[in-house]
Amino acid sequence: MPKLSGVAWRKSTRSGSNADCVEVAEVAQVIGVRDSKDPAGPVLAFDRRSWAVFVAALPALSES
């Protein structure tokens, strides 16, 4: 997994000032996901294809 220190993390613009968010960072072929309340904590890493499948499924999940 590529190093994720020093990368630009971002959270959804829909998060507003809510502290209960996840942040994502893109590095090479990896998407990193972390808890915004614990930036030094663990990071989940997804390959780009898996991340795209996950994001594409989100609208269907919100309808159930």
pLDDT, tens digit, 9 for 90 and up, residues 25-60: 998 889 999 998 888 889 999 999 999 999 898 887
Give phi and psi for 33, each to the nearest 5: -130, 130
Let me know if 14 is exposed, middle or buried by CB neighbors in 10 A (0-12, 13-18, 19+). exposed
45 occurs within a structural domain: yes
58: domain range?
13-63
Q: For residue 51, what pLDDT is reported?
A: 93
Q: For residue 40, what pLDDT is reported?
A: 87
23 occurs within a structural domain: yes
* Lookup: tokens for 18: 């809510």
5 occurs within a structural domain: no
Separation CA 47–CA 18 (nearest Å): 27
Q: For residue 2, what pLDDT is reported?
A: 63
54 occurs within a structural domain: yes
Separation CA 41–CA 36 (nearest Å): 9
pTM of the model: 0.76
Please tell me the total count of domains within the chain. 1
The Cβ-side half-sphere exposure at 42, using a 13 Å CA radius, reads 2
6 occurs within a structural domain: no
8 occurs within a structural domain: no
